Structure 1
Amino acid sequence: MKWQGINEFVAVAENQSFSLAAKHLKISTAQVSRQISALEKRLQVKLFYRTTRKVSLTQEAQLFYQHCRHLLDGLDTAEQAITNLQSKPQGKIKLTAPVTYGEQKILPLINDFVALNSDIEVTTELTNNRVDLIDGGFDIAIRLGQLQDSSLIAKKLSQRSNFVCVSENYLQKHGEAHSLSELKHHNCLLGTRDYWRFTEQNKEKNIRVKGNLRCNSGLALVDAALKDIGIVQLPDYYVQSYIESGKLVTILDQFREPAEGIWAVYPQNRYLSPKIRLLIDHLAEHLK
């Protein structure tokens, strides 16, 4: 009983016309008018101002419309969820990720995902720029580190840690830095920032460092460290294999900042489609 007239009310509100609402609902204008009149009587409030040329909402109707639109959207979402349960995930997915992390970690998993789900087509764009998902038409973005406040929904996939690394040959020539203040005496290889991040006595610390090489490529900085040029601070996915092989060693581990999250973010749609959920779950499972 309480749903009676809601569809007609929303249709009139959105079309600003009884006849257009009737056409949209595929019923008669007289039926729309009867339902609106019954709804106004039940609510004991006037919903529309009507003239021969225009239909507009009253102040009470504007508030009522917001709630009714939300209810109808929720009903559509519920119906879509049931429908999707019965169907096999298929269609297109557009994803963006940072360049190096995308190449090393995300794209191999995307390839595995496509091999397992031949009805899903995935397009991946790698960029270190923070793109707008809506404007770019992206379904998912992979983001590293601290997230900015936004209306996007985020799911944590994994985490990363920053390591300060150096070669044994460099240490033999220049000695080891045992405190953050000693970094000023060393050749620190820089990326896009002129400071490194640490934690000291449970407080975040940004330490300005200097060196004779600056580059916006983590791979190039790793190469420079391997060639004994200086010290680097980089995320684990750049240096983990070299640490394990002994080609690089870590220093200042006691000042390492807590691990940061690696996230899949996506627009706050009314319903997360099965294909998107399937890909996010796939990434989360294999990036643990």
Structure 2
Amino acid sequence: MFLWEGVSEFVAVAEAESFTAASKQLGISTAQVSRQISALENRLNTKLFYRTTRKVSLTEEGAIYYQHCRRLMDGLQEAERAISDRRDTPQGNLKLTAPVTYGEQYIMPLVIDFMLQYPEVEVTMNLTNQTVDLVEGGYDLAIRLGKLSSSTMMAKRLASRTQFVCASPGYLEKFGVPHSLSELRHHNCLVGNYDHWRFQEAGKERSVRIDGTLRCASGHALRDAALKGLGLIQLPDYYIIDDLERGDLVTVLDTFREPEEGIWALYPHNRHLSPKVRLLVDFLAKSLS
């Protein structure tokens, strides 16, 4: 415990920029805070603060030390809350966000099952295909599909999805089956949110620009158009799995299909997972797997 001596006092002074304010926050005397900081500086053989009559500020070494100590304090607080939370019953509001179609089809039915299991939990769900800011919006959890952009969010993989290129048997009989990516330019490729389709060729990712007579940011509309023989589509499995099993749609270019992608639960970095959030994430992971 010797290594911890003075750390809480140091962090408090660094954040309050005042020995007096830090002492009030910690409930100890200013003299005691000052003694602990002096002892810490002596132990480290480093000056941690610039002190004037008006202001206390971190030295360069103090700023580096603060970053490490802040993480240690956060970790200690997380450990204490994790123990106390185990005694709590999940309750209160959960604010969630998920993509529209996947959220309607898969997430919301499970969330409702979760609410029936824990009746003291309330849920606010925002189904949107827009990427919302979790911290600014006060969200506890977000469901994200596919490749994640680098961020400060923590992520847990819940399940996976696969993108298929497919068309109706009637379309393929009339216009032929493409066997190479270059042949896509001769086909009516129905465009969704993006005018590029992603593939894997020779172990590398490849993006192919496509074009067609229909542009619509609705997977259901593109599926319907493909079923009626209008053209080729590229959609995740959850839109078309039943159509593929029935033979109403047929996959093409399977050798160029990208590996399966993740379906993720995201939550803000360093935000403690309350019992209700932790239980919901585990419930979704178990159910979706």
Which structure's CA Rg is the greater one? 1
From the superposition, tell whether residues 184 and 138 of structure 1 become closer, same or farther in structure 2 (CA, over 3 Å): same
Deviations along 1:217-255, whole A, 9 cap, x unmatched?
A: 110011111212222121111111111122222222222
Alignment of 1:223-238 (within 5 A): 223-238=224-239
Paired position in structure 2 for 1:14 = 15
Q: Secondary structure at the match of 1:66?
A: helix
Distance in 2 between residues matched to 1:46 and 1:197, nearest whole Å: 55
Deviations along 1:192-216, whole A, 9 cap, x unmatched?
A: 2223222333333333333211111
From the superposition, tell whether residues 27 and 257 of structure 1 become closer, same or farther in structure 2 (CA, over 3 Å): closer
Distance in 2 between residues matched to 1:211 and 1:33, nearest whole Å: 72
Paired position in structure 2 for 1:54 = 55
Paired position in structure 2 for 1:168 = 169
Distance in 2 between residues matched to 1:60 and 1:233, nearest whole Å: 54
2:191 aligned partner, one-letter code: L
2:119 aligned partner, one-letter code: S
Paired position in structure 2 for 1:263 = 264
Following superposition, the deviation at residue 59 of structure 1 comes to 4.5
1:199 aligned partner, one-letter code: Q
Paired position in structure 2 for 1:278 = 279
From the superposition, tell whether residues 81 and 228 of structure 1 become closer, same or farther in structure 2 (CA, over 3 Å): same
Distance in 1 between residues matched to 2:61 and 2:232, nearest whole Å: 66
Q: 4+ residue stretches of structure 1 with deviation over 6 A?
A: none
Deviations along 1:35-85, whole A, 9 cap, x unmatched?
A: 444444555555544444333444544444333333322221221111112
Q: Secondary structure at the match of 2:4?
A: coil
Paired position in structure 2 for 1:25 = 26
**Structure 1, unpaired ranges of 5+:** none
From the superposition, tell whether residues 174 and 82 of structure 1 become closer, same or farther in structure 2 (CA, over 3 Å): same
Within the alignment, does 1:247 sit opposite 2:252 as a pair?
no
Following superposition, the deviation at residue 34 of structure 1 comes to 4.0
Distance in 1 between residues matched to 2:185 and 2:48, nearest whole Å: 72
Distance in 2 between residues matched to 1:189 and 1:253, nearest whole Å: 18
Distance in 1 between residues matched to 2:47 and 2:250, nearest whole Å: 75
Across the aligned residues of Structure 1 and Structure 2, the Cα RMSD in angstroms comes to: 2.4
Distance in 1 between residues matched to 2:280 and 2:26, nearest whole Å: 37
1:155 aligned partner, one-letter code: K
Within the alignment, does 1:84 sit opposite 2:69 as a pair?
no
Count how many residue pairs are aligned between Structure 1 and Structure 2. 288
**Structure 2, unpaired ranges of 5+:** none
Percent identity of paired positions between Structure 1 and Structure 2: 62
Between 50-59 and 188-197, report the one with greater CA deviation. Answer: 50-59
TM-score by length of 1: 0.89
Paired position in structure 2 for 1:195 = 196
Distance in 2 between residues matched to 1:141 and 1:241, nearest whole Å: 27
